Amino acid sequence: MNDTETTQSEGEMPIYDAVKSLSKADIEQTVRKNAADRHFDLKDEHLDVIQSLVEHYKRDCTTRDCLAAHEHMRFLEEAYAFKGGGKYLYMLFDALTDTRGVLMPIHELAGLPPLQLETDKGFGTAY
């Protein structure tokens, strides 16, 4: 049994399984609640980025090997290049307390499972 099978058998939910049945309204409701709980000033721009990432997960993560953060960050940087790419994304999401970067706060706001590099003790925390 490889590491991926071990992780999945221990109850880790792949990204696609977490998002496949979520509607935009479901996502927005969860994000708004989590943002309010964290006293985070949520704007339409945040919701737009989160919705884009969830749609990317639905479209491109139908396999169980979609937990690596770098691919998703690259997707967001390219999708929002017209607004400044990574700089724009960090400006939006780096303000969420107790998190750093872009993907970690998005996952926390949307109630999604953590990505592999965010919790891999062998590599530390991905920012």
Q: What is the pLDDT of residues 71-124, one digit of tens each?
A: 899 999 999 999 999 999 999 998 776 777 899 899 999 999 887 654 444 444
What is the pTM for the complete model shown?
0.78
Find, among 112, 95, 98, the residue nearest to 50 by Cα: 112
How many angstroms separate the CA atoms of 55 and 35, rounded? 20
Find, among 118, 111, 125, 124, the residue nearest to 54 by Cα: 111
What is the tens place of the pLDDT at every residue in 10-19?
444 578 888 9
pLDDT over 60 at 48, yes or no: yes
**Which residues does 27 contact at the CB level (< 8 Å), separation at least 6?**
50, 51, 54, 110
Amino acid code (one letter) for 6 = T
33 vs 66, 79, 86, 88, 123, CA distance in Å? 26, 26, 26, 23, 31
